[in-house]
Amino acid sequence: MTVAPTVPASRSGQARSRGPAHLSGQGRLERRWGVAMALPAILGFAIFTIGPMIASFVFSLTDWTIGGSPSFVGLGNYRTLGGDELFWKSLSVTTYYTLGAVPLALVIGFVVALLLNQKVRGLALWRTIYYLPTLVPAVASAVLWIWIFNPDFGLLNSLLREGGLPTSQWIYSEGAAVPSLVIMSTWGFGNAMVIFLAGLQGVPRHLYEAVSIDGGGVWQRFRHVTLPMMTPTIFYNLVTGVIGTFQVFNQAYVMTQGGPNNATLFYIYYLWRTAFTESQMGYASALAWILFMVIMVITFFLFRNARRWVYYEMAGAR
């Protein structure tokens, strides 16, 4: 999970009423304990984030096979990337997957959240039913879906055959492989749904009442209250969804090994293969940095575009 870009820092400056009776020792005590208690987090950030980030960038400027000694190649890796067909293939496969998976999860998650936001009997049960798939460990769901996609005896083709419909080779055909994985990912729309549900609970009731007093019906309530009030949540799910799908790995590793014919060569899978089976640490680091930049650029444009449609209740809440 990632953090809502809209939330941080807004409350960090929350003023605390400090009595004038404050002893001078108290400030020093807080300072000392404050730094000490934040220390594990600060060290963790230094050791597991900033340090590796710098190292990763340095690695990306070298030609380095693990076990050997690195040689500095400047931007050579990045230049090689430009002509690397598999790099472009993995980028397009990943984009294709994101364009399919994110909108589907958002739309279905939103609709189901709307339904479950009604006074429904057995609410806990419904919520559980729709949330369950997201709890399934990635590997277990991969194993399950290989079987569901099995062309001869799998669930999907069995159903299609019984309905007299044309069957598919699913993950075993170049054309259907990514759409198959999109279907599989949509099964886990529960994550987006839960966040939508939380968002729906935050919509102020009095706004609905206002619309009702003006004679507005269900549609007006949805169009003029729910939808605008939910745009920050939709935006949050969109951003985290895109960032998440750009980092897909397990399906490619467990289910398809990037095949058939590189049709599911997801970006991180390609990176993984480069680093840990071909042992090209420098080149793989360059791949990582390009991914970082791609994600930053996409996020930047999403944020810029958001100004046009995301509605924030409080001005200045970013």
The interface with other proteins within residues 262-291 (CB under 8 A) comprises 268, 271, 275-276, 281, 284-285, 287-289, 291
Q: How many CB atoms lie within 10 A of CB 21?
A: 6
In sequence order, which residues have a C-beta less than 8 Å from that of residue 16 and are 6 or more positions away? none
Of the two residues 32 and 79, which places its CB atom closer to other proteins in the complex? 32
Residue 97 engages other proteins in binding (rule: CB under 8 A): no
Q: How many CB atoms lie within 10 A of CB 312?
A: 16
Per CB under 8 A, the list member of 135, 165, 227, 297 interacting with other proteins is 135
Residue 75 engages other proteins in binding (rule: CB under 8 A): no
If DSSP codes are grouped into helix, strand and coil, which group holds residue 199?
A: helix
If DSSP codes are grouped into helix, strand and coil, which group holds residue 225?
A: helix
Nearest-CA neighbor of 142 among 187, 203, 189? 187
Residue 112 engages other proteins in binding (rule: CB under 8 A): yes
Residue 243 engages other proteins in binding (rule: CB under 8 A): yes
Of the two residues 23 and 82, which places its CB atom closer to other proteins in the complex? 23
Per CB under 8 A, the list member of 197, 242, 263, 306 interacting with other proteins is 197
Q: Which secondary structure element, helix H or strand E, spans residue 71, and what is its range?
A: strand 71-72
Per CB under 8 A, the list member of 177, 221, 241, 310 interacting with other proteins is 221
Of the two residues 97 and 130, which places its CB atom closer to other proteins in the complex? 130
If DSSP codes are grouped into helix, strand and coil, which group holds residue 253?
A: helix
Q: How many CB atoms lie within 10 A of CB 50?
A: 10
Contact 89, 262 (CB under 8 A): yes
Stretch that binds other proteins, among 16-24, 89-97, 98-106, 173-181 (CB under 8 A): 16-24
The 164-193 contact track toward other proteins, x by CB under 8 A, reads: -----------------------x------
